[in-house]
């Protein structure tokens, strides 16, 4: 049985914990809370809470959003691998986070954990509800601190360890493949872990849904320890106009990915979600240049060399 009350309790609690942790690092209650509710009907009903920071001491822009939405029919982006579910009503619950620090020596990070539930089929087909999970986290540094990248990947590996020794390598590769800009032929960042359409059993687990939910909780719970210590360590590093300029240039890749490639953005827009919350992931200051390349041997060039997928742990 799929218990959406239990799912909501976890996801809403996770959002509250992540906002509290980021606010503690920020040094004050700078997050703006924007609760919302939509009555059931086309295209979406549901409720949620979007917590946003802009112009902070540590975070130039960031958002941590919880949502629980319902809709009359799964959008095309959710049924590409499950065409038999087309037309079913659905519920989607989850937490999505993107944090863009002000200091260019601090990396940007993204995390998302979610559950999607297709309702029972109508008419004479009384098929039971179907639920599955997705999620992950990834890191986008602007300057080359290998120890920070190793810390992040190590936390990802430890989060998945209780669910099988083989999972980290698989989900890391999936992340490297997903967060890739084919039109640029380059990765967005240094990866992390990513998984989707998760509903599978494992050793010691009789219930695939319970196991998949437990794994998703482990990923969500690991994020703060994987990322926030990096920001705490780097946000006081002196920087100048050169570093900010390069940060804005590399943020352009972040924008391109989210608007061109990201399935979550597509799902939200296709299903009639709240545009402001969907696009909270975009950084506040971005630059593009024509055919620009960093000076060979510079720190800016070194980060490009680090983007190639590798085993960081």
What residues are labeled active site?
110
Residue 71 in tokens: 């809709």
Structural contact between residues 66 and 15, judged by C-beta atoms closer than 8 angstroms: yes
What does the alpha-carbon distance between residue 220 and residue 114 come to, in Å, rounded to a whole number?
A: 10
Query: Where would I find the beta strands (DSSP E) of 107-248?
Result: 108-118, 130-140, 180-181, 186-187, 191-198
Structural contact between residues 197 and 132, judged by C-beta atoms closer than 8 angstroms: yes
CA-based nearest residue to 190, from 201, 198, 180, 199: 180
Residue 259 in tokens: 């608007």
Structural contact between residues 62 and 15, judged by C-beta atoms closer than 8 angstroms: no
What does the alpha-carbon distance between residue 156 and residue 175 come to, in Å, rounded to a whole number?
A: 11
The region that residue 41 occupies, defined by phi over 0 for left and psi between -120 and 50 for alpha, beta otherwise, is left
What does the alpha-carbon distance between residue 194 and residue 215 come to, in Å, rounded to a whole number?
A: 12
Backbone angles phi, psi at 257, to 5 degrees: -65, -50
Q: In the chain, what is the straight-line distance between the N-terminal and C-terminal CA atoms, in Å?
A: 38
Q: What share of the chain is helix, strand, coil (3-state, %, to 5)?
A: 40, 25, 35
The pairing of beta strand 108-118 with beta strand 191-198: unpaired
Structural contact between residues 94 and 12, judged by C-beta atoms closer than 8 angstroms: no
Look at residue 65 and give its three-state secondary structure: strand
């Amino acid at each position: 049985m799929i218990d959406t009350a239990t799912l909501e309790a976890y996801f809403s609690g996770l959002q509250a914990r992540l906002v509290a942790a980021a606010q503690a690092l920020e040094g004050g209650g700078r997050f703006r809370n924007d609760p919302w509710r939509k009555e059931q009907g086309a295209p979406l009903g549901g409720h949620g809470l979007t917590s946003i920071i802009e112009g902070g001491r540590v975070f130039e822009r960031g958002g941590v959003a919880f949502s629980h939405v319902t809709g009359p029919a799964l959008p095309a982006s959710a049924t590409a691998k499950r065409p038999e579910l087309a037309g079913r009503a659905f519920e989607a619950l989850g937490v999505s986070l993107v944090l863009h620090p002000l200091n260019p020596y601090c990396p940007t990070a993204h995390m998302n954990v979610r559950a999607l539930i297709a309702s029972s089929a109508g008419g004479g087909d009384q098929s039971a509800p179907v639920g599955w999970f997705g999620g992950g986290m990834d890191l986008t540094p602007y300057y080359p601190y290998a120890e920070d990248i190793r810390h992040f990947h190590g936390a990802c590996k430890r989060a998945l360890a209780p669910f099988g020794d083989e999972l980290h390598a698989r989900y890391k590769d999936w992340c490297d493949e997903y967060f890739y800009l084919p039109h640029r032929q380059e990765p967005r960042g240094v990866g992390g872990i990513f998984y989707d359409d998760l509903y599978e059993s494992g050793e010691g687990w009789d219930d695939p849904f319970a196991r998949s939910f437990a794994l998703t909780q482990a990923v969500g719970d690991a994020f703060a320890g994987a990322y926030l210590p990096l920001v705490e360590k780097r946000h006081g590093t002196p920087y100048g106009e050169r570093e900010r300029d390069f940060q804005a240039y590399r943020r352009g890749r972040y924008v391109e990915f989210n608007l061109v490639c990201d399935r979550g953005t597509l799902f939200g827009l296709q299903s009639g979600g709240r545009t402001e919350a969907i696009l909270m992931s975009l950084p506040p200051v971005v630059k593009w240049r024509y055919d620009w390349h960093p000076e060979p041997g510079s720190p800016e060039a070194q980060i490009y060399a680090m983007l190639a997928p590798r085993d960081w742990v």
